[in-house]
Amino acid sequence: MTAQALPPVVDTATWEQRLAELRAREKAATRELDAIAAERRRLPMVEMPDYTLEGEDGPVRLADVFDGKRQLIVYNHMWFTGKEWQCPGCTGFTAQFTRLDFLDDYDARFVIVTQGPIEEALAYKHRVGNRMTWYSTANSPFGTDVDAPPDGGFAVNVFLRDPDTDTVYRTWHTNGRGTEHLTHTFPLIDLLPYGRQESWQDSPTNWPQSPTYSRWPTAKTIAHLYGPNPTDAP
């Protein structure tokens, strides 16, 4: 960053005009997101087999992961065999969700499913201070069938359960940057004058920029901040 890494200074009227122009675009984007959500509610769905996953208390049917709810959001957490610290992006993303009781009023639940063996997954959950409920699909094709295969990337999937038959349907899926609007971190950072400060972003000359991911906390840092062993400093 240099001394020139400053927005231009203008009078109040000019600033308000530029802000109004930007706000018009922001509001248009909000309306477009509303329209996309409306289309999401009209998507067809596909019936799922009767999978069995592994939970903290043993085997559990996919239909029972809903815990009596009709709707289920699943974050498929990346998992790499033998690694002490798993994906920092997945670890950081899921660390944000500490209060999910509000979903009860929407007849919904949000859980983590990973390819890691359940004992290792629960140990990792404890090590990094994760507050979500974890399940393992290590002994099931579920992860592969919902686009989160072993040693593959992360994903978000949404399911609907028919309470009369316990049949489960897949209604939505995303990965990559499709998860950004589900987090509070990037929307907050994007409000800042310097933004995410990543090299791929369109920023003015002299703005501070770093390699992509370089400002993200590592899994070990997250464990230090939220886990049970604060002496494990990065």
For the cut 70, the answer to whether the pLDDT of residue 232 exceeds it is: no
pLDDT > 70: percent of the chain: 97
Residues sharing a CB contact under 8 Å with residue 123, sequence separation 6 or more, in sequence order: none
Instruction: Provide the residue type at 6 as one letter.
Output: L
- DSSP label at 26? H
∠ at Cα 90 (113, 80), nearest 5°? 70
Q: Is 82 left (phi over 0), alpha (psi -120 to 50) or beta?
A: left
Provide the angle, in degrees to the nearest 10, between the axes of the packed helices 219-226 and 88-95.
Answer: 30
The confidence score (pLDDT) of residue 229 equals: 74
User: What's the longest Cα–Cα distance across the chain?
Assistant: 65
pTM to 2 decimal places = 0.93
From the list 112, 98, 91, 132, the residue with the least C-alpha distance to 216 is: 91
Report residue 15's pLDDT band, with 50, 70 and 90 as the boundaries.
very high
Question: From residue 84, how far is each of 76, 98, 164 by CA, in Å?
Answer: 18, 23, 42
